[in-house]
A = this chain, B = another copy of it.
């Protein structure tokens, strides 16, 4: 695993490599949301991506590069979320095994997704230490290659292809924005965006309640998040050294947003665009709404990162008549 910063050429090569395997997802617009936001919004619908999120791009870009010997041992990760399902399907489609360490308290819907793609699941106690320890044991037994959800060079290049497609389809964008958790999507987007359009404004969006990227970006050094608690369950992880370097170098700014605006943005996407977006995917629109002076009158590309949500636990309350 290289720790150098990916170049535009790396993203281009990733795109060639994965384009037969991933969906080229559509870009949706909404006159209602343009009116509400005061900007012209273009949503890259990665909720329609295989496994329901952009994570399938990075996972595929990793697995398709494995040699025969590596394919024999399989791949693995510890994750309770979209990366686990993405890696499981990418492995199955390339004829190899996926070993996933999941905390026992993972939600039933996420368990089902990973099981559905025939991954080998190892249950562990919650907590990052327990997950890492459990994965090291699996690694010893199987020789499976660990694929980090966001800090892996090839994962970052794969995620960058979502922004590449969006800018190819809407080259007139003034700005582009994606949610940031571990930073794989945000840093891949930053590499692609900076290379494709010199004057493009490149932004990340983060919940106030998990604002490590915001604080790291502003302070200039990596500050891990401490016990984040946000409805945006895909954004609980912290930047890695690699994604922090990329974001520091290429990103114009990081905006935070409140839990209340995240829920409001999610409801707007559901009601007005008729799209299922998970809370993490609504964070970018929420940031646009909470910082509208920045985006007013601009053409803004938003990466709608995923649509995996438990329909029995929705945050929409009773509304006024």
Which residues from chain A sit less than 8 Å from chain B, CB to CB? 26, 28, 45, 47-48, 52, 108-109, 111, 267, 270-271, 274-277, 307, 311-312, 314, 316-321
Q: When the two chains form their complex, are residues A312 and B319 in contact, meaning their CB atoms are under 8 A apart?
A: yes
Contacting A274 at CB < 8 Å: which of B276, B314, B317? B276
A311-B316, A316-B311, A318-B312 known; A274 vs B271 contact (CB < 8 Å): no
Contacting A321 at CB < 8 Å: which of B26, B108, B307? B108
Least Cβ–Cβ distance between A10 and chain B, in angstroms: 29
A26-B26, A311-B267 known; A319 vs B274 contact (CB < 8 Å): no
Contacting A311 at CB < 8 Å: which of B47, B52, B111, B314? B314
Write out the residue numbers on chain B whose beta carbons fall within 8 Å of the beta carbon of A111: 321
Listed from nearest, the 8 A-B pairs whose CB atoms lie closest are A108-B321, A274-B307, A274-B276, A311-B316, A47-B274, A312-B318, A312-B316, A270-B276
Write out the residue numbers on chain B whose beta carbons fall within 8 Å of the beta carbon of A276: 270-271, 274-276
Interface centre among A48, A270, A274, A307 (most CB of B within 10 A): A274
A26–B275 CA distance with the chains assembled, in angstroms: 13
A311–B277 CA distance with the chains assembled, in angstroms: 13
A319–B312 CA distance with the chains assembled, in angstroms: 7
Contacts A274-B277, A274-B307, A275-B275 given; 7 further ones with Cβ under 8 A? Answer: A26-B26, A28-B48, A270-B276, A274-B276, A275-B276, A276-B276, A311-B316
Complex: chain B residue closest to A316, CB-CB: B311
Q: When the two chains form their complex, are residues A274 and B312 in contact, meaning their CB atoms are under 8 A apart?
A: no
Write out the residue numbers on chain B whose beta carbons fall within 8 Å of the beta carbon of A270: 276, 311
20 example contacts (A-B, Cβ-Cβ < 8 A) are as follows A26-B26, A52-B274, A108-B320, A108-B321, A109-B319, A111-B321, A270-B311, A271-B311, A274-B275, A274-B276, A274-B307, A275-B275, A275-B276, A276-B276, A311-B314, A311-B316, A312-B317, A312-B318, A312-B319, A314-B314
